């Protein structure tokens, strides 16, 4: 049964079969959690991942396009709602709602610098970097998620990596040791 | 920053994605010096560590899946409960059959399929309504944690104390719940619980024989706790412990009486 294709799992999950739903959520849970880890503060990552799957369960029958794009679009919306809600509670200004990498699991020093630099990018740059390099999605998939043109994706890719390079240089981490 | 550089970077990343060397694309381009450090950063980003799901979050998600999957065809609570019960029985049958043959059944912590296994187990628990069924699941899960710990040790990953603690917790939950079961199923399940705990005690002793000094130190408190639970299970079933050949006093036997102790 585990060799069933994603399409078959989706079909059964839409029919309300709990085992297909559990399998689907289990397959994508680590990916969404990793996405959240690099987009929001560590303390909120698991809660927001749970929220993503709650929305998936409730709206699975309305899913259109590729499942992965749909899933990460929901994840992006959950992040936006979270940031807005924090801003509304005056926890932090909107433009400062960045992840706190130090609170995540211990990582080697270069990785920590990279995470800290990633946290200083703009939200759209961080979203792109997470989708493209951490999740390994293609430009076409990211275009479907973010509703951007291929040209805009290429420009964002260059800007994000250049900003990351500058952040790393500012931290005295210009080149890989 | 120009569209040409953006395109060059993208072609290099695409080349790498296709398993080709980006230098083939970069070689003769005047912007190569600017693009190379960005390619290095892109490689480093790919090796950032993934996040590890926690058991608590998996449990919460499983509860949501079970709740969302419950039939909602009737507004009458009695009918809805009956439908949920029927769906739970059907689901348990499907999942028990599924769990045995699934590729995730052999997964251990750190494997890509382990979250699938965890989530499936938890959905099974949430979808099982009878007390007997839930105790049976506790037994299955406790045995599964032991198998995983043994498999991890055999694969050179050391002693995973978290897994063994989960094994003990599941076993404890089964022991605690058994006395409250209906009389017709209580002794049967108590026998299974007792067999499970004595098997676990033996398996831990086996593991201890193959463990190094550090691992033995980690195993010691788990073995002690397991012995206590084995004794408690035996006392619940027989009124004495055939394995320990003794009559444990109240201090070592936390189990409530089932009413079939030796007089």
Comparing alpha-carbon positions, the chain B residue that sits nearest to A18 is B69
Do A26 and B44 count as a contact with CB atoms less than 8 A apart?
no
Residue with the bigger pLDDT between B163 and A89: it is B163
Mean pLDDT of B208-212: 93
B116 with A134: Cβ contact below 8 A: no
* B166 — pLDDT class (breaks 50, 70, 90): very high
CA distance A118 to A125: 9
Q: Which residues of A touch B19 (CB under 8 A)?
A: none
Specify the length of chain B in residues.
263
For residue B244, what pLDDT band results from cuts at 50, 70 and 90?
low
Interface A:B, Cβ pairs < 8 A:
149
How close A87 gets to chain B, by Cα (Å)? 25
The reported pLDDT for the residue numbered A36 is 95
The partner residues of B246 in beta bridges, in order of sequence, read B241
Provide, rounded to the nearest whole percent, the portion of chain B with pLDDT above 70: 76
What ipTM does the predicted assembly reach?
A: 0.79
pLDDT value at A1 more than 50 = no
Residues contacting B106, CB < 8 A, separation 6+: B151
Please tell me the distance from the alpha carbon of residue B142 to that of residue B197, in angstroms, as a whole number: 9
Report the mean per-residue pLDDT for chain A. 85
Average pLDDT over residues A54-72: 92
A92 to chain B, closest Cα gap in Å: 24
- A contact test, residue of B40, B48, B53 with most A CBs within 10 A: B48
Q: Model confidence over B96-137: pLDDT tens digits?
A: 444 443 556 788 888 877 887 888 888 788 777 789 999 999
Q: Give tens-digit pLDDT for A7-32.
A: 888 998 888 877 788 888 888 998 99
Q: Of B38, B65, B83, B124, which to mutate for an interface test with A (greatest number of A Cβ within 10 Å)? A: B65
Q: What is the pLDDT of residues B29-62, one digit of tens each?
A: 888 888 999 999 999 998 888 888 887 788 788 8
pLDDT (0 to 100) of residue A131: 96
pLDDT of B78: 55
CA dist B43 and A165 (Å) reads 13
Computed over every residue of chain B, the mean pLDDT equals 79
User: Average pLDDT for residues A71-94, to the nearest whole number?
Assistant: 84
Q: B67: nearest CA in chain A? A: A18
Among B81, B74, B67, B84, which residue's Cα sits nearest to residue A54?
Answer: B67
| Confidence (pLDDT) at A91 | 61
Distance from CA of A98 to the nearest CA of B (A): 17
């Amino acid at each position: 049964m585990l060799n069933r294709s994603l399409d078959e799992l989706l079909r059964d999950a839409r029919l309300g079969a709990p085992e297909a739903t559990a399998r689907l959520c289990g397959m994508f849970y680590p990916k969404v959690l990793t996405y959240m880890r690099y987009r929001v503060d560590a303390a909120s990552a698991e809660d927001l991942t749970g929220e993503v799957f709650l929305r998936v369960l409730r709206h699975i029958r309305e899913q259109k396009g590729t499942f992965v794009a749909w899933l990460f679009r929901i994840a992006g919306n959950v992040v936006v709602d979270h940031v807005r809600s924090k801003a509304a509670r005056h926890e932090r200004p909107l433009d400062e709602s960045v992840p706190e990498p130090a609170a995540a699991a211990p990582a080697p020093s270069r990785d920590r610098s990279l995470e800290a630099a990633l946290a200083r990018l703009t939200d759209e740059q961080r979203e792109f970097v997470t989708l493209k390099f951490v999740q390994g999605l293609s430009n076409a998939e990211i275009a479907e998620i973010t509703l951007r043109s291929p040209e805009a994706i290429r420009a964002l890719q260059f800007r994000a990596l250049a900003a990351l390079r500058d952040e790393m240089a500012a931290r005295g981490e210009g080149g890989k040791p | 920053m120009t569209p040409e550089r953006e395109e060059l970077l993208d072609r290099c990343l695409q080349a790498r994605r296709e398993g080709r060397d980006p230098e083939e694309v970069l070689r003769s381009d005047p912007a190569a010096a600017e693009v190379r450090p960005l390619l290095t950063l892109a490689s480093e980003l790919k090796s950032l560590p993934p996040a590890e799901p926690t058991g608590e979050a998996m449990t919460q998600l499983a509860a949501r899946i079970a709740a969302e999957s419950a039939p909602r065809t009737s507004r009458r609570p009695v009918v809805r409960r009956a439908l949920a019960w029927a769906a739970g029985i059907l689901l348990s049958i499907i999942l028990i059959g599924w769990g045995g043959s699934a590729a995730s059944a052999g997964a251990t912590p750190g494997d890509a399929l382990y979250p699938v296994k965890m989530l499936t187990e938890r959905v099974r628990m949430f979808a099982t309504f009878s007390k007997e069924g839930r105790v049976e699941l506790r037994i299955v899960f406790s045995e599964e944690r032991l198998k995983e710990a043994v498999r991890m040790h055999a694969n050179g990953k050391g002693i995973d104390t978290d897994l063994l603690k989960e094994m003990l917790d599941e076993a404890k939950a089964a022991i605690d719940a058994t006395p409250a079961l209906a009389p017709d199923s209580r002794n049967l399940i108590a026998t299974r619980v007792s067999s499970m705990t004595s098997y676990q005690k033996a398996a831990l002793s086996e593991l201890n024989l193959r463990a190094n000094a550090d691992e033995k130190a980690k195993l010691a408190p788990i073995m002690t706790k397991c012995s206590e639970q084995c004794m408690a299970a035996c006392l619940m079933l027989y009124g004495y412990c055939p394995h320990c050949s003794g009559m444990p006093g109240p201090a070592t036997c936390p189990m409530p009486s089932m009413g079939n102790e030796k007089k």
